[in-house]
Amino acid sequence: MSKSIEIDDVTENFGEDKHLIFGYTPTCGTCKVSERMLDIANEILKLPVKKIDMNFHPKFSETHQIMSVPVLMLMNKDKEVKRLYAFRSVPYLLENLK
């Protein structure tokens, strides 16, 4: 019996004017720290966020030419507005996501 894995729908927030896609892998330590910074920043911003394990999204990775994780994409509907690989700090995130 093969176990079916629920794959997140990356396009879930594509109806929103401003939303985030956070790409990570479970084994990435930097991703865990970055996710925590993102969670703190987003308590202020209150943007829809889709968190995806990049191991299960090779097509998305390829289409968007994602080079490494963590990656944070600021989106307007289905268009990428900005991409961050280095999160640096909560204030830095807030500044870049306004």
d(CA 8, CA 97): 23
pLDDT tens track, the chain, 98 positions: 444 445 678 999 999 999 999 999 999 999 999 999 999 999 999 999 999 999 999 999 999 999 999 999 999 999 999 999 999 999 999 999 98
Q: Residue 97 corresponds to which tokens in the numbers above? A: 């996501």
d(CA 91, CA 50): 21
CATH number at residue 41: 3.40.30.10
pTM of the model: 0.90
pLDDT at position 1: 43
Domains of the chain: total:
1
Range of the domain at 88: 19-97
Whether 7 maps to a domain, the answer reads no
